[in-house]
Amino acid sequence: MEGIRHEIRTKSDLICLLIGIDGVSHQALLGNISLGGVLVRIDNKDSKELHVGEMCGLMLHDSHNMNLDRHTGKIVRIDSDGVGVSFQNQEFRHLKKKK
C-alpha cells in the first residue's frame, strides 16, 4: 500500500543543497529525512527545473564540524510540500564478480 512509511523520519530545518541532473545546485531546507529518503523545501521557481524520475544529489551540512554528507537519490515527488527524494529507489548497475 502506498503512503505507508516503514522508516522513522526525523524533522529538521538544516540548510542543504539539492543538485539536479544538470549540475545546477538549489539551496533547500531539509524538511525530514529517513533511511529511505528525504523531503526538502525549495523555492517554487527552482522546482520547475527538476523532474520526477531524475537522479539528483543532496549535500547536507553539519554546522558544528563543517562536514558535508553527500547522498544520491531519485526524485519521486514534486509538489507544494517540497521535493521528495528516495535513496532506495535508485537504478544501479551491479557488476558480476568473475570467478
Domains of the chain, by residue range, sit at 10-86
Give residue 2's pLDDT.
46
Q: What is the DSSP string of 72-97?
A: EEEEEEEETTEEEEESSS---PPPPP
- Kindly report the backbone phi and psi dihedral angles of residue 3, in degrees, each rounded to the nearest multiple of 5, phi listed first: 95, -15
> How far is it, in rounded angstroms, from Cα 98 to Cα 81?
46
pLDDT for 76 = 94
CATH fold group of domain 10-86:
Thrombin, subunit H (2.40.10)
Please write down the HEC assignment for all residues of 5-46.
CCCCCEECCCEEEEECCCCCEEEEEEEEECCCEEEEECCHHH
Per run of 10 residues, the mean pLDDT along the chain (length 99 residues) is 56 84 89 88 83 91 68 92 82 46
pLDDT at 11: 73
pLDDT value at residue 92: 47
